[in-house]
Structure 1
Amino acid sequence: MTHDIIVLGAGMVGVGCALHLQAKGHAVALVDRRAPGLETSYGNAGIIQREAIGPYALPRDFGFLWSGMLNQRVDVRYRASEAARMLGPLWAYYRQSAPEHYRRISREYETLIALSLDTHQALMNDAGAQALIAGQGYLMLYRTERELHSFFEVADERAQHGVHHIKLSGADVAREEPALVGRFAGAVRWTDPWAISSPGDLVQAYARLFEQRGGALHLGDATTLRKTDAGGWQVSTANGHTLSARQVVVALGPWTTQLTARFGYTAPVIPKRGYHMHYARLPGKPLNSTVIDAEYGYVVAPMKDGLRLTTGAELARVDAPRNPAQIDAAEKIARQNFPLGERVDAEPWMGTRPCMPDMKPVFGPVPEVPGLWCAFGHGHQGFTLGPVTGELLAAMMTGETPRVDVRPFSPGRFA
Structure 2
Amino acid sequence: MTSEIFVLGAGIVGVSVALHLQERGRSVVLLDRNAPGEGASFGNAGLIERASVIPYAIPRDWRALLGHASNRNAAVRYDPAFLPRIAPWLLGYWRASHPDRLKKIASELLPLIEACLGEHERLVDAAGLSHLLRRDGWIEVVRSAATLEEAGRRSADMQATYGLASDVLDRQALTRLEPALRSAAIGGIHWRDPFTVSDPGALTKGYAALFEARGGTILREGVNHIAPEGAGWRIATENRSHSSAEVVVALGAYSNTLLSPLGYRIPLVAKRGHHMHFRPEGEATLRHSVLDEEIGYVLSPMTAGIRLTTGIELAAPDAPANRIQLDRAERRAREIFQLGMPVEDKPWLGLRPATPDMKPVIGPANRHPGLWLAFGHAHHGLTLGPATGRLLAELMTGETPFADPSPFDIGRFL
The alpha carbon displacement at 1:367 in A equals 2.2
The one-letter code of the counterpart of 2:244 is: A
RMSD (Å) for aligned C-alpha atoms: 1.3
Q: How does 1:328-367 map to 2 (within 5 A)?
A: 328-367=327-366
| Structure-2 residue corresponding to 1:277 | 276
| Residues 339-382 of structure 1: per-residue CA shift (max 9 Å, x gap) | 21111012100001111111111111112112111101111000
- Normalised to the residue count of structure 2, the TM-score between the two structures is 0.97
| Structure-2 residue corresponding to 1:170 | 171
The alpha carbon displacement at 1:189 in A equals 0.3
| Structure-2 residue corresponding to 1:153 | 153
Contact 2:3 2:29 (C-alpha < 8 Å) held by counterparts:
yes
The alpha carbon displacement at 1:6 in A equals 0.4
The one-letter code of the counterpart of 2:272 is: R
The one-letter code of the counterpart of 1:272 is: K
Aligned length: 413
The one-letter code of the counterpart of 2:204 is: V
Q: Does 1:219 align with 2:220?
A: yes
SS of the equivalent of 2:151 reads helix
Q: Does 1:190 align with 2:191?
A: yes
| Structure-2 residue corresponding to 1:32 | 32
Identity within the alignment, %: 44
Q: Tell me the distance in 1 between the aligned counterparts of 2:152 and 2:114.
A: 21
Q: Does 1:18 align with 2:22?
A: no
- Where do 5+ consecutive residues of structure 1 fail to align? none
Q: Tell me the distance in 2 between the aligned counterparts of 1:325 and 1:91.
A: 26
Contact 2:184 2:335 (C-alpha < 8 Å) held by counterparts:
no
Q: Tell me the distance in 2 between the aligned counterparts of 1:154 and 1:234.
A: 51
| Structure-2 residue corresponding to 1:307 | 306
Bigger drift between 196-205 and 253-262 goes to 253-262
Q: How does 1:227-246 map to 2 (within 5 A)?
A: 227-228=228-229, 230-236=230-236, 240-246=239-245
- Give the 4+ runs in structure 1 shifted more than 4 A: none
Contact 1:32 1:219 (C-alpha < 8 Å) held by counterparts:
yes
Q: Tell me the distance in 1 between the aligned counterparts of 2:228 and 2:350.
A: 30
Contact 1:90 1:270 (C-alpha < 8 Å) held by counterparts:
no
Bigger drift between 379-388 and 255-264 goes to 255-264
Q: Tell me the distance in 1 between the aligned counterparts of 2:116 and 2:151.
A: 23
Q: Does 1:48 align with 2:48?
A: yes
| Structure-1 residue corresponding to 2:297 | 298
Contact 2:225 2:258 (C-alpha < 8 Å) held by counterparts:
no
- Normalised to the residue count of structure 1, the TM-score between the two structures is 0.97
Q: Tell me the distance in 2 between the aligned counterparts of 1:82 and 1:121.
A: 40
The one-letter code of the counterpart of 2:79 is: R
The one-letter code of the counterpart of 2:209 is: R
Bigger drift between 176-185 and 105-114 goes to 176-185
The alpha carbon displacement at 1:277 in A equals 0.2
The one-letter code of the counterpart of 2:345 is: A
| Residues 251-276 of structure 1: per-residue CA shift (max 9 Å, x gap) | 01111112211111111112210000
The alpha carbon displacement at 1:237 in A equals 5.2
| Residues 205-246 of structure 1: per-residue CA shift (max 9 Å, x gap) | 000000011111001112233332x132222456x4532101
Q: Tell me the distance in 2 between the aligned counterparts of 1:270 and 1:64.
A: 22
SS of the equivalent of 2:42 reads coil
The alpha carbon displacement at 1:182 in A equals 2.2
Q: Tell me the distance in 2 between the aligned counterparts of 1:314 and 1:207.
A: 29
